[in-house]
A and B are shown apart, each in its own frame.
Chain A
Amino acid sequence: GEDVEQSLFLSVREGDSSVINCTYTDSSSTYLYWYKQEPGAGLQLLTYIFSNMDMKQDQRLTVLLNKKDKHLSLRIADTQTGDSAIYFCAEMRGTGRRALTFGSGTRLQVQP
């Protein structure tokens, strides 16, 4: 996953907004995803964005895509303690291997 980079850790207070950032390198990426992993569990898809979109909103989640800078962000509004988890961004490239490339994950800690 060295082509997809994320910061390792983010701590926020309950009720605040969280913003998790991701940068990727492949301009041919077609879809970009955000997955959530709770302790001891598999990955759960939160949301995704197609590369021709700038923004996608889904309830408390907002995804922003800056294709020029190859930057993706996930904003969680009104963060709750149940949002504490590791968040992975992943890209699906438009050429070559048809599989996801993951970042190393951002651990979100929500303080009560």
Chain B
Amino acid sequence: NAGVTQTPKFQVLKTGQSMTLQCAQDMNHNSMYWYRQDPGMGLRLIYYSASEGTTDKGEVPNGYNVSRLNKREFSLRLESAAPSQTSVYFCASSEGWEREQFFGPGTRLTVL
């Protein structure tokens, strides 16, 4: 089992460019999450998907969109990147909302 995988590992964008961060899990988990981590701060929830076919906003959803493509995959899209979106992005999954979350290795994104 690979667990939670994320691509790419690193990305540099110019302001205004768009990109999609990919996340996949092979644990047959129902719930998936996207977080961002900024220096000196804990992880903040961007969006989550409690189950296949549903998505909900988290604490900091502005500037992002998500797609729960199927049970395995949950992507995060930046339509028009801004320097404030420079961060490390983590995807996570869990069997259900009350269960342990397993994290991917993260994507380090820099927006110039």
Contact = CB atoms under 8 A, between A and B. Distances in A.
Whether chain B is bound by chain A comes out as yes
Interface of A: 1, 4, 8, 30-31, 33, 35, 41-45, 48, 88, 90, 92, 97-105
Contacts, number: 62
Given A88-B43, A104-B41, A41 B100 contact: no
B40 interface: yes
Nearest to A50: B98
Given A41-B105, A98-B31, A99-B48, 7 more contacts: A1-B42, A41-B106, A45-B102, A97-B45, A98-B98, A101-B45, A102-B35
B104 A99 contact: no
26 contacts: A1-B43, A1-B44, A4-B42, A33-B100, A42-B90, A43-B90, A43-B92, A45-B102, A88-B42, A88-B43, A90-B42, A92-B98, A97-B45, A97-B48, A97-B56, A98-B48, A98-B50, A98-B98, A99-B33, A99-B48, A99-B58, A99-B97, A101-B42, A103-B42, A104-B40, A104-B42
A97 to B, nearest CB: 7
Interface in B57-77: 58-59
Contacts of B43: 1, 43, 88, 100, 102
Contacts of B41: 1, 104
Interface string B88-112: 0010100001101111111000000
A94 to B, nearest CB: 10
Interface in B11-47: 31, 33, 35, 40-45
Nearest to B96: A98
Contacts of B97: 92, 98-99
A4 B44 CA distance: 12
